[in-house]
Amino acid sequence: MRPARGWIPLNLSALWAYRELVYFLTWRDIKVRYKQAALGITWAIIQPVISMIIFTLIFGRLAGLKTDANIPQSWYPIFSFAALLPWQMFQGALQRAGISLVGNANLLTKVYFPRLIIPFSAVAAGLVDFGAAFLVLTGLMIYYGVPFQWNMFWILPLVILALLSSLAVGLWLSALNVQYRDVQQMIPFLLQAWMYASPVVYSIDMIPAKGPWRFLYSLNPMTGVIQGFRWALLGGTPPNESMIASVLMVLLLLISGLFYFRRMERTFADMV
């Protein structure tokens, strides 16, 4: 050990060596979340279903928002659910990751392990909720008679992209939160604004195709993810160009986030 200055190599292999700890912390997060709740893991299903019902009533019926051009309007519930699924996973993962370091202050000050493990496992815990809600989606797809297509398997890389997005932003926010507790106050607003900046309740068709708007809109990584979900599952507007922008944006945020995190890491134990 020696005083560290400046930028630090990422050293991701250390993470691999500590993979069991990632597993245990993830498992703890999930286990604790649903302990002593009568409905337990059912909440992972109830939350998106209720959101879907609200969105369908408010945005689908009252506001009359349109689905993608090639998705029937009567599919609005499943249209919004296909977006809610990755969105709520992203939202939950980001929320947990953002406060993860401060929430685990007792670990930071007492034990050594690669600090990246903490936001990693906070994000990974989002997969379980996703899995539960995915069952509901499958049910809805059968109910609405959505035809099977091979494109559906695209959701696997899309899920990874969503997790990486939340990890990328989560790395920045968690490290900042160690120093500035303002961050944890900001996260709910950030997420609320972010949801409306993503095509969750409305269709990407509403964004003008002319001019720079689509491109700017696609810098939001969740645009590509959600658009991709609708395309893969329901045959909505293909995400082509927005996907490239989203992936590049995630990579940019992720790499910068990793380096920023590693740079701040050495002060965590003293600052938290």
Partner 1 sequence: MASDVVIRVDGLGKQYRIGTLGMSYRTLRDTVIEVARAPLNLFRKSELEPAERKNGHTTIWALKDISFEVNRGQVLGIIGRNGAGKSTLLKILSRVTDPTEGFGEIQGRVGSLLEVGTGFHPELTGRENIFLNGAILGMHRTEIARKFDEIVDFSEVGAFIDTPVKRYSSGMYLRLAFAVAAHLEPEILVVDEVLAVGDAEFQRKCLGKMSDVAQQGRTVLFVSHNMSAILRLTQETIVIEKGKMGMRAPTPQAVDYYLSQGYSQEGQRFWTAEEVPSEAAPFCPVAVRLTNIQGRVVDTVRSVEPCAIEFEYELQSAVTGLRVGVYLMSTRGEYVFTSFDTDETDRFERLPTRAAGRYVSRCILPADFLNEGRFVIGVNASSYRVKRYFQDEKALTFTVDAIGAPGMQWPEPRMGAVRPRLDWEIEVL
Residues near partner 1 (CB under 8 A) are: 1-4, 20-21, 23-25, 27-28, 31-32, 35-36, 104, 106-113, 178-183, 266, 269-272
- Give the nearer residue to partner 1 in terms of CB position, either 2 or 210: 2
Minimum separation from the CB atom of position 55 to partner 1 (A): 32
Considering only CA atoms, give the Rg of the chain. 19
CB atoms within 10 A of CB 61: 11
Nearer to partner 1, 135 or 271 (CB): 271
Cα distances (Å, whole numbers) of residue 151 to 24, 71, 158, 232, 265: 34, 15, 12, 5, 41
Contact between residue 174 and residue 101 where contact means Cβ atoms under 8 Å apart: yes
Q: Which is nearer to partner 1, 107 or 124 (CB)?
A: 107
| Nearer to partner 1 (CB atom), residue 210 or residue 270 | 270
* Minimum CB–partner distance for residue 18 and partner 1 (Å): 8
- What is d(CA 124, CA 48) in angstroms, rounded to the nearest whole number? 19
Closest contact distance (angstroms) between CB of 138 and partner 1 is 31
CA angle 43, 46, 52 (to 5 degrees): 145
**Cβ 67 vs Cβ 73: under 8 Å:** yes
* In the complex, minimum distance from the CB of residue 40 to partner 1, in angstroms, rounded to a whole number: 13
Residue 181 beta carbon to partner 1: minimum distance, rounded to whole angstroms: 6
Cβ atoms of 159 and 82 within 8 Å: the answer is no
- Residue 60 is given by DSSP the state I
* Closer to partner 1 by Cβ: residue 153 or 180: 180
